[in-house]
Amino acid sequence: MAKITIPCLVGKTNKAGVTSWYWQPSKTLAAAGWRPVSLGKNMTVAMAAAQSRNEDVAKWKAGAMRPGGIERKDPAGTFGALIQRYRREVVNGKKPNGKDRLAEKTREAYETGLKRLEIWAGKHPIAYITPARVQTLRDANAKPVDKGGIGHSATYNMLKTLRQVMAFAERRDIIPKGSNPATNFELGAPAPRRTIWEADDDAAFTAAAYKLGMPNMALALELALYTAQREGDLIKMTEAQVTELNLHSESLREKLAGKDGKVMGWVLSQKKTSNDDYSVDMAIPLEPEIRSRVEAAIRTNRARDRAAEPQRLLTYVLVDDKTGLPWDKRGFIRAWTKILETAAEATKRPHMTDLVWHDLRRTRVVRLRRRSMPKEMIAAITGHSLQSINAMLKVYGPIDATITAAAIADSLDTPVKAKPADDAQEQSA
């Protein structure tokens, strides 16, 4: 009798001679998200289940379906297949030294545009992408959100991603050189965002966070304004990163030390996309009051971690107040948005719903400039290089009345005092 072989069907026999059957994906399928499936001990049932699973794989390869948790698979020659290759080789690719081509933050930015492009034309042949269709895509999306679009900035970033994907296709000889249909999509780059938080926004957010039972989010806001760091770094902040700093200046130690005489700080490393070996090692001292709030959060979170089953041995500073678990970025942003909406409704400050986390980084820079802090010292806080500090200030430092007033005051030879109103009237008479 001929032996029947079904792809991915594997039998494993134990010492008692009992065989259990499994659907075991190939290395390529496993990398795409397909997982092993236990099919039981009945060979006939297992064979039927394996064949059914293989039919699902065949449909997936043809682009007709995509089970939950499985990567998209578009037929060769489609725009979707091109995007998948671009994602694999560029966005998630590795450099010759084995390091990621792009930093996590940059990959996230690319992914947003790629997903929108897949929805738009993933199932179509690459030739479907023409300059005329690119312009149609632009016009449909560049409208404001309340008019059915995604806005100027999001559309620009999506089309810029499209241009890069098609340039990749040119380099790989998938399309002829010079045929990139998105070379000039005729949409100017959006103006740099210049929104900053005001003190009333800080207070409204904090009050809303406590009202919603999320005091940890109020601490997140305080740390963001204090450290000027990205949310991705802050939500990864752990107990181990809060450590004693050795400062060589006695005056600095006196200003920053707690009652125990120690200067504690947050130690982290900022990864940069532009250079394989370029990372910025940061050590940000925590002034005594904010240090006490950080340490209080650590104590609370550690106690909850140790009481969990199984125990959690790595304690984070910022956690979900309801679960005690560390945030993933999506959950953090959802909670952040909910607090902003609550704050806007409670204080009748509708503009708060338009505030985003990165505005806090800009706000910290502006507030430091208001204190006449030199740009080199601002860079030491934000983690920017001295080479990029001027560009950073141009983007993150909008013209501010306080800064302008300080510049005007410094330009005066002697202070000018307003004369009493009576004296002014007598002179005019």
- Write the DSSP string, 132-198: HHHHHHHHHHSS-GGGTS--HHHHHHHHHHHHHHHHHHHHTTSS-TT--TTS----PPPPPP-----
Would you say residue 276 has pLDDT above 70? no
d(C-alpha 111, C-alpha 114), whole Å: 5
- Taking only the tens place, the pLDDT of each residue in 192-228 is 788 889 999 999 999 999 999 999 999 999 999 999 9
Omega into 420 within 30° of 0, i.e. cis? no
- Taking only the tens place, the pLDDT of each residue in 377-388 is 888 888 877 777
- The arithmetic mean of pLDDT across residues 313-323, rounded, is 96
What local confidence, expressed as pLDDT, does residue 256 receive?
93
Quote the mean pLDDT of the chain: 87
* CATH for 199-408 (1.10.443.10, 3.40.50.10260, 3.40.50.720, 3.80.30.20): 1.10.443.10
d(C-alpha 207, C-alpha 205), whole Å: 5
- Taking only the tens place, the pLDDT of each residue in 143-186 is 988 888 999 999 999 999 999 999 999 999 999 999 999 999 99
Range in 98-107, 115-124, 324-333 with the lowest mean pLDDT: 98-107
Q: How many Cα atoms occupy the beta-carbon half-sphere of 180 within 13 Å?
A: 20
- Element housing 242 (H / E): strand 242-244
- Write the DSSP string, 73-128: -PPTTBHHHHHHHHIIIIIS-B-TTS-BSS-HHHHHHHHHHHHHHHHHHTTSBGGG
What local confidence, expressed as pLDDT, does residue 178 receive?
95
- What are the CA-CA distances from residue 42 to residues 3, 21, 269, 293 (Å)? 17, 8, 54, 59
Q: How far apart are the first and last CA of the chain?
A: 123
Would you say residue 403 has pLDDT above 80? no
What local confidence, expressed as pLDDT, does residue 64 receive?
60
- The arithmetic mean of pLDDT across residues 232-261, rounded, is 93
Would you say residue 83 has pLDDT above 70? yes
Cα radius of gyration (the chain): 29
- Taking only the tens place, the pLDDT of each residue in 5-46 is 899 999 999 988 899 999 999 888 887 778 899 999 998 898
**Boundaries of every domain in the chain:** 9-61, 79-171, 199-408
What local confidence, expressed as pLDDT, does residue 1 receive?
41
pLDDT category at 63 given cuts 50, 70, 90 is low
Please give the single-letter amino acid code of residue 46. A
**Angle 350-351-353 from CA coordinates, rounded to 5°:** 80
pLDDT category at 396 given cuts 50, 70, 90 is low
What local confidence, expressed as pLDDT, does residue 429 receive?
47
d(C-alpha 407, C-alpha 389), whole Å: 20
Burial of 137 (0-12, 13-18, 19+ CB in 10 A): buried
Residue that wins the pLDDT comparison between 292 and 427: 292
For residues 306-323, b (16+ Cβ closer than 10 Å) or e, as one string? eeeeeebeebbbbbbbee
- The arithmetic mean of pLDDT across residues 311-322, rounded, is 95
Q: Which residue has the tokens 């949409």?
A: 187
pLDDT category at 239 given cuts 50, 70, 90 is very high
- The arithmetic mean of pLDDT across residues 76-96, rounded, is 92
DSSP-assigned beta bridge partners for residue 244: 264
What local confidence, expressed as pLDDT, does residue 400 receive?
65
